[in-house]
Amino acid sequence: MMVWRRLLTAFVATAAACWLGGFVWFLDVTRHPSETPLPPHADGIVALTGGAGRVELALHLLAADFADRLLLSGIGGGTDLTTLGRRAGIDTSVLASRITVGRYAASTRGNGVETASWAGQNHIGSLIVVTAAYHMPRALAELRQALPGVRLFAFPVPPSGDRGAAENGPSLRLEAEEFSKYVLAVSGLTAWLPRREPAFVPVGAGG
């Protein structure tokens, strides 16, 4: 019994040390994201909604012609494109034919499913990903699993207003929770968790 207790204690201590070391790496990556240049033009942009500044930044990228099409993944309720454009200071009437308002996703895994459906229908081979910096590692992990043949370019919402509306910095607790979710996503274990979305993805990814 003592041997098993020692082995269990050693396992827990090792797991905790690995988690802590990974969390330190995660904080460094998300708080000091590398400046990866965007391509001159991509096939599409996806904004994983759920935080301030994401939709606004994605709309500005589309208006600046960084891509042909835009998916706003996970738009809840009855919020329409005109309202979203007004918040961003963008006239969406001239861009509406290039924008899909996705209402399927209720989780990051759902974002991946919804984006994969939309990308397949629109022949997307390169994709700019817009979300918060602390959310970007998990978003990319889920999108890479859902879109193995698509080139992804991360473009996180900045912590200051130099690229439009800013997203408030997350708390340490939120970052710890996000890192734990990232570990699950990278390991593929999120596929075993209960879905928050229906099994059927609407045609047009909720457009």
Does residue 21 lie in a domain region?
Answer: no
CB atoms within 10 A of CB 189: 10
pLDDT of residue 164: 41
Q: Which domain holds residue 91?
A: 33-192
Contacts of 182 (CB under 8 A, 6+ apart): 26, 137, 138, 141
* CATH number of the domain encompassing residue 86: 3.40.50.620
Does residue 2 lie in a domain region?
Answer: no
pLDDT of residue 1: 65
Judge contact between 88 and 165, C-beta under 8 A: yes
Q: Summarize pLDDT for 136-187 with one digit per residue, the tens.
A: 999 999 999 999 999 999 999 986 544 443 445 678 888 888 888 889 888 8
Strand partners, 42: 67
Strands (E), the chain: 42-48, 67-73, 99-102, 126-130, 151-154
Split into its structural domains, the chain has a count of 1
